[in-house]
């Protein structure tokens, strides 16, 4: 599709634009013939992980939304890893909420402080009743119990960090599952399935080709000596295409990208984005068609001119 677009665009570059009315510079509209319909968005959707393609969820010509599941690579090992990571996170979270050691350390410190204070009280009333070495031991027990409170708080902090590590591991495991689910990056139509169920795929192997059809690009050429790019930029357009049986359909859009490059012959490329329509499940406007595009120079542009004002008339 891309090679065809480039070749046909080069061929179209030699086709001059035609303007309605006797004077191209003063006409209210500009008609550009032999414009090419092309895609705005498309994606060769690849496999991201190696494995067996066990499921194809869509068929060719099926319309899909962004995020829809297109296919699935074998998930068995990834699911096991995800389940193991979830269980490890549950264990880590239980440790975070378990403050038994902290509460015990506080009680032990209270008892040790009481024993130490009692020994000091006794010796203050009857000196040397409690040996000095016993007083020192009781003081050490109390200090140890106080440090155990700090240790318990530190352990809870470490358990919290471990829980965050387990959360990250679970996220990694979930990502491994998601990477084996091939999803559409855009809303459009599946035009090609490159693989069959049961085939082995490698990272980067194309699996599906999805194209956007609700908005298409109309490409044509305008002569820069008659119409400067800023005269057509942002202007509304009407695109007319002839379908089978001589049926003609019109579509509306707007000029989006006048090229800054002038082709040999003095023409520059213009692009319009046009809203497509369906009849039943079939799109009327199709990439590769040749159309006629009318640029309405007398209608407001959506581009801002000097001072931020929207251009509303044809510049002189």
Residue 148: what pLDDT?
94
Whole-number Cα distances in Å, 186 to 36, 63, 256, 289: 23, 11, 21, 23
Q: Report if pTM > 0.75.
A: no
State the pLDDT at residue 257.
Answer: 79
pLDDT tens for 18-65 read 443 333 344 588 999 999 999 999 999 999 999 999 999 999 999 999
pLDDT on residue 15: 47
The 3-state secondary structure of the chain reads: CHHHHHHHHHHHCCCCCEECCCCCCCCCEEEEEEEEEEECCEEEEECCCCEEEEEECCCCCCEECCCCEEEEECCHHHHHHHHHHHHHHHHHHHHHHCCHHHHHHHHHHHHHHHHHHHHHHHHHHCCCCCCHHHHHHHHHHHHHHHHHHHHHHHHHHHHHHHHHHHHHHHHHHHHHHHCCEEECCCCEEEEEECCCCCCEECCCCEEEEEECCCEEEEEEEEECCCCCHHHHCCCEEEEEEECHHHCEEEEEEEEEEEEEEECCCCEEEEEEEEECCEECCEECCCCCCEEEEEEECCCCCCCECHHHCECCCCCC
CATH level 3 topology of 2-40+212-308: Elongation Factor Tu (Ef-tu); domain 3 (2.40.30)
Q: Is the pLDDT of residue 9 over 90?
A: no
Beta bridge partners of 211: 42, 189
Output the pLDDT for position 265.
87
Residue 48 pLDDT? 96
Q: What is the CA radius of gyration of the chain?
A: 37
Domain boundaries, the chain: 2-40+212-308, 44-70+185-208, 77-178
- pLDDT, tens only, 241-262: 988 888 899 999 999 878 889 9
Mean pLDDT, rounded, of the chain: 87
Beta bridge partners of 208: 45, 193
- Residue-wise pLDDT for 135-157, tens only, equals 999 999 999 999 999 999 999 99
CA 236 to chain CA centroid, nearest Å: 30
């Amino acid at each position: 599709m891309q090679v065809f677009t480039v070749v046909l665009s080069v061929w179209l570059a030699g086709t001059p634009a035609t303007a309605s009315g006797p004077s191209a510079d003063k006409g209210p509209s500009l008609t550009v013939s032999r414009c090419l319909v092309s895609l705005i968005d498309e994606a060769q959707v690849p496999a991201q992980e190696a494995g067996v393609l066990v499921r194809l969820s869509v068929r060719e010509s099926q319309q899909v939304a962004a995020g829809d599941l297109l296919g699935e690579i074998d998930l068995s090992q990834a699911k096991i890893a995800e389940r193991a990571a979830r269980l490890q996170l549950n264990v880590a979270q239980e440790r975070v909420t378990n403050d038994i050691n902290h509460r015990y350390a506080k009680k032990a410190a209270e008892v040790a402080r009481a024993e130490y204070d009692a020994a000091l009280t006794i010796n203050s009333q009857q000196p040397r009743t409690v040996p000095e070495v016993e007083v020192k031991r009781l003081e050490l027990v109390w200090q140890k119990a106080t440090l155990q409170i700090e240790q318990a708080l530190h352990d809870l902090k470490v358990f919290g960090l471990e829980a965050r590590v387990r959360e990250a591991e679970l996220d990694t495991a979930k990502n491994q599952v998601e990477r084996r689910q091939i999803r559409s990056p855009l809303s459009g139509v599946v035009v090609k399935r490159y693989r069959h169920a049961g085939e082995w795929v490698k990272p980067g192997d194309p699996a599906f080709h999805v194209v956007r059809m609700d908005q298409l690009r109309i490409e044509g050429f305008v002569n820069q000596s008659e119409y400067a790019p800023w005269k057509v930029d942002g202007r509304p357009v009407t695109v007319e295409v002839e379908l089978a049986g001589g049926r003609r359909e019109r579509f509306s859009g707007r000029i989006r990208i006048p090229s800054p490059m002038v082709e040999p012959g003095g023409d520059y490329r213009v692009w319009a984005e046009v809203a497509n329509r369906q009849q039943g499940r079939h799109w009327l406007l199709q990439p590769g068609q040749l159309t006629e595009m009318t640029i309405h120079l007398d209608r407001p542009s959506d581009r801002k001119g000097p001072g931020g004002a929207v251009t509303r008339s044809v510049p002189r």
